[in-house]
Every structure is written in structure tokens, then in C-alpha cells.
Amino acid sequence: MARESESGLPIEPVYGPDDLAGWDAAEKLGAPGQYPFTRGVYPSMYTGRPWTMRQYAGFGTATESNARYKQLIANGTMGLSVAFDLPTQMGHDSDAPIAHGEVGKVGVAIDSVEDMRVLFGGIPLDKVSTSMTINAPAALLLLMYQLVGEEQGVSADKLTGTIQNDVLKEYIARGTYIFPPKPSLRLIADIFKYCKAEIPKWNTISISGYHMAEAGASPAQEIAFTLADGIEYVRTAVAAGMDVDDFAPRLSFFFVARTTILEEVAKFRAARRIWARVMRDEFGAKNPKSLMLRFHTQTAGVQLTAQQPEVNLVRVAVQGLAAVLGGTQSLHTNSFDEAIALPTDKSARLALRTQQVLAYETDVTATVDPFAGSYVIEKMTDEVEQVALELMHKVEELGGAVTAIEHGFQKNEIERSAYRIAQETDSGERVVVGVNRFQLEAEEPYEPLRVDPAIEAQQAERLAKLRAERDQETVDAALSALKKAAAGEDNVLYPMKDALRARATVGEVCNALREIWGTYVPSDAF
């Protein structure tokens, strides 16, 4: 009896030549680093150098997170990846009533450029690549990073990294939105233009399927809805007057890696192929770099278990292998204790060591695209691609990603997939080791990392001191200029940078934009 993949497609016990009858290798595969990039975006892939090992970290205060970053760098991390707390993600200051109880909990609290200065103190910004998982207020965090770089004497053209900046998936799966879709897309277009002129090596957006997968999306849904969002962003930038080849080479993507290695490899290959064709055929991109789907991968947090947490070490190793075999450009491996709490120093180091074992002790980096030509991989790639294209067509029929979001299409599809997974787990049809099979009678005790609740008061004190010491007239004038730009057509990032340099806070800048653009209220809230 055939098993089903995560996308609900049959997996046959045996595959052979008949499964690829009429299959055109030249059209489907190409060479590594060449259209349609099925085999990877670079000719040599990991045979020249491994992927970027980018560990995601951030908690409590900027001082605590800075110490963790320095430990990760000392342990061999090639790039930093910043987690922000919920108030920062939602554009609120730490002393705002709505922030109570959440300051520093799921990431680092950043209220002003002064916190950003502490966060990257002693870390040369021209030597590291930094990814920031921030969406609605992404412009603010990028500008604060640029300001800190200027203070270090690092010119903006030397800064490298990524802001996630993918607000559409927030409406679909995650919920940390601020403004309605239309002004949010305008802000993203302003970021594209600003970075082209001011920070040319920066990746301006990381279009994310990871959070959809965490919400229950299947692999086919993950790439379909992510690529549909990508199409919406490209259309927005083109409508704003940009040439596609001026910004498309800086687009990047963010996917999950599950324990189902074969389908995950097929998913990554299908995503590259679809994106290359869309960029060439729909948008007329001429630069080969515009056709390349470059992506970061994170192992699947949703598959980690609080039961027998050490088993997560095995899961993460398998998921990391899936990402590498699928051709990722950078990778974050989760710590085994993240289903319980924030990772400890030791568990974060073990997660990084997992990547280092894959890179330096296995032979998966010795040859480009080890699975090319595999009957099962090529068949599964075709099948995942077909399902994804059908979903993307449905999004287009509804009028594009934004209109489909307003209809609740993506959210409903993902919820159906999540419900199926929950049913299969509850019935035991889907085995989760330590949860519904192979349980222990009593779990061994584990002491998690805890965030000090006093951080909220400490951040409030820092904010009170900042407001007392800054030139308030300068702040007010900068915020007025920001509101004027937001109400008109000027790029908002230039007055926003002036406001942040004057030590306006994240909350104050976002509130100024809320006055002009309003806030998003989902239709199902009525």
C-alpha cells in the first residue's frame, strides 16, 4: 500500500524509468547554476564553500543578546540572525501598556537606536552578515542597523544581510502586522528603492513560507503561497516604477525543512523551477540573478517535542540534511530544547555543531545536487510542482495574493492541512516518537532558560532616560516630516532615518505611520 507525502500525494514503494517516461531532462533539470535552476542556483554549490551557518538568537535585553552573538561567532557561526520580541515586532515600545508581559520573551527588546547600538557592540558590521526577522517595522530596524554601522565607520555599501520584510504572510499565518496591505506594500516598495540607492548589497525581503508551514501548510502549499506573495511584491515594485532587474537579484526566500527528506528536496527543486519561469515569462527578467530563487532554511520548530527533548537532536540533524540536499543558501538549525523554552548556551552550540558535522564530516558537500536523476526525486518534484501551480492559479483567479488574503483563501487552505495533520497524529496514523509512540512513563527533569521579568522595568527606565535627554523639538519635527511623506508619495525611509537618528522610538515612529495609514483589522474579527 502506498504511503502519502505531507502534501497528500502518493509515495510508491518502487520508482523506475516508466515514472519518467517522456521526461525532458534538459527542460526539467538544466545544469547547476543555469536556468531553470532545478539543480541549484550556483554551478559549484557546496563544493567550493558550505552554506552560511546562520543561527537565530535574541532574548531579553540587547546586552544579553550581544553576549550570545559573540559566543556564536566564537563557535564558528558565519552569520547572525536576530529574533525580536513581540512588542518590537508589532511596533510598540517596551513601556506601552500593550507590551506588558511580553518584553524580551521571544526575542530581544529594541526600542531605539541606543538598544541597537548595544545589540551590535563590539561586532564589526562590515565583517558579519546579519538577518533580521522583522516584518511590519522592518524599515525601522534596517535604518537603525545602518545608523550603528555609520557610528562604527562602516559605509552602507559594506553592509550585508537580510530583513524578512514579508508582511503578506503575516496576514495569512502569523499575525504580527500593523498597517493594512496597501500601505504595507507601499512601504516595501520604498525599502526596495532606498536599498538600491543606499544599501546595495542588502537583501530587501525574505519571502517566507516557514511560518505558513509552522501553521500547518503542506510543502506544496508552502511554496505555492510563498511564491504567490513573491509575485505580488514584484508587481508592486514594477508598478512603483522600478525595473525588475534593478531589485529582483536582491529578493530572497525562507522555507522550512521537515523530517520528510525526499519531499523536502523535491519541494526546494520545484520552487526554484517555478520561480525561474515566472520571472522570465511573466516579468521579462533578463539578468540571470533575477531568476534565481535563493533561500534560507530553518529546521521545523513545529516538529520539535517537549517530550524526550533530546530526540529533537536527531530530528534537527535529519531536517538539516534535507535542507542541504535541497540546495539551501543558508541554514539555521533549531536547538533541541526550543519546544520547552529559549535555547541555552549549550543547546545553541549543539545546534551549530550539527551543521558543522554535515558540512565537514559527511560527503554531501563533495558533489553538486546528489539526488539529480533519482526516479523518486524527479517524480516527486514534478508532482509537488503541479500541485503548487494549481494553488497559485487559484490565487490568481481570486485577483492575486492580497485579494486572496482578503477572501481568506490561503488561511483556510492551511487550516485544513493543519487539521488533517492533527487528526493523523491523534489517531496514531502519523507517528511522533515520544508523543504517541515510544513514550516514557516519566519524563526526565529539564531546567530551561528563563527570561528575567525585571527586563520590562529596565527597558522602561532606559526609555524614560532617553526621552528626558533627547532634543524633543528635533524628534517632533522629524516625525512630522515622516507623516507628511507617508501622506504623500515621497520615500518614507529618509525622514524615518532622521527621526531614528534623533532618537525617536520604535513605538513613536510606528504610531506616526498609524495616524496616516491606519491599522489592519482582519475581516473575521467582525
CATH number at residue 359: 3.20.20.240
Q: How many CA atoms does the CB half-sphere of 263 hold within 13 Å?
A: 23
The residue type at 456 = E
Mean of pLDDT values over 190-207: 97
- The mean of the pLDDT values for the chain is 95
pLDDT, tens digit, 9 for 90 and up, residues 63-93: 999 999 999 999 998 789 999 999 999 999 9
DSSP alpha helix (H) spans, 398-505 = 401-406, 409-427, 455-469, 472-487, 493-501
pTM: 0.94
What letter does residue 362 receive in the DSSP assignment? Answer: S
For residues 523 and 269, what is the distance between their CA atoms, to the nearest angstrom? Answer: 35
Residue 482 belongs to a domain:
no
Task: Name the pLDDT band for 387 (thresholds 50, 70, 90).
Answer: very high
| Domain contains 516 | no
H helices present in 175-218, as ranges: 181-198, 210-214
Tell me the pLDDT band of 216, cut-offs 50, 70 and 90: very high
Q: Is 458 domain-assigned?
A: no
Residue 123: C-alpha distances to residues 71, 126, 154 (Å) = 11, 9, 12
pLDDT of res. 507? 98
391 belongs to a structural domain: yes
Distance CA 229, CA 353 (A): 34
| pLDDT, position 443 | 84
Q: Are 517 and 183 in contact (CB under 8 A)?
A: yes
Burial class (CB within 10 angstroms; exposed 0-12, middle 13-18, buried 19+) of 466: middle
Structure-block grid coordinates of residue 306 = 517537549
Q: For position 525, what pLDDT does the model report?
A: 41
Instruction: Using alpha carbons only, give the angle 347, 89, 223 rounded to the nearest 5 degrees.
Output: 75
Q: pLDDT tens-digit profile of 325-347? A: 999 999 999 999 999 988 888 99
> Which cell is 417 given?
492541512
Is residue 115 included in any domain, yes or no? yes
Range of the domain at 252: 3-427
Please report whether residue 263 resides in a domain.
Answer: yes
What length is written for the chain?
A: 526
Whether residue 499 is contained in a domain is answered as no
User: For residues 58 and 233, which has the higher predicted lDDT (pLDDT)?
Assistant: 233
- pLDDT at res. 55: 84
111 within domain boundaries: yes
Please report the pLDDT score of residue 524 as a whole number: 59
What DSSP character marks residue 171? I
Amino acid 31: pLDDT:
95
- For range 3-25, the mean pLDDT: 93
pLDDT-based confidence at residue 442 (cuts at 50, 70, 90): confident
**253-310 pLDDT per residue, tens:** 999 999 999 999 999 999 999 999 999 999 999 999 999 999 999 999 999 999 999 9
Contact between residue 376 and residue 487 where contact means Cβ atoms under 8 Å apart: no
Count of domains forming the chain: 1
pLDDT at 468 over 60: yes
pLDDT for 98 equals: 97
- Find, among 471, 510, 464, 513, the residue nearest to 95 by Cα: 464
Query: How far is 340 from 307, CA to CA, in rounded Å?
Result: 9
Lowest mean pLDDT among 64-68, 118-122, 245-249, 522-526: 522-526
